[in-house]
Amino acid sequence: MEAVDHVLAAHDFIDPDKMGVTGLSYGGFMTNWIVTQTERFKAAISQNGISHWPSFYGTSDIGFYFTPDQVGGEPWTNEEGYREKSPLTYAPNVKTPVMFVHSHEDYRCWMDQSIIFYTALKHLGKEARLALFMEGAHVFRSSAKPSIRKRRYEQMIGWFDAHLKKEATNGPRSKPPRSRSR
**φ and ψ at residue 21, rounded to 5 degrees:** -140, 140
Which of the following is catalytic: 6, 25, 51, 143?
A: 25
Which of the following is catalytic: 55, 102, 114, 138?
A: 138
The residue length of the chain stands at 182
Can you tell me the distance from the alpha carbon of 43 to that of 29, in angstroms, rounded to the nearest whole number?
15
145: helix, coil or strand? coil
How crowded is the C-beta side of 135, counted as CA atoms within 13 Å? Answer: 11
Of 50, 181, 152, nearest in space to 108 by CA: 50
Of 43, 4, 15, 51, nearest in space to 157 by CA: 43
Is residue 25 annotated as part of the catalytic site, yes or no?
A: yes
Q: Which residues does the annotation mark as catalytic?
A: 25, 138
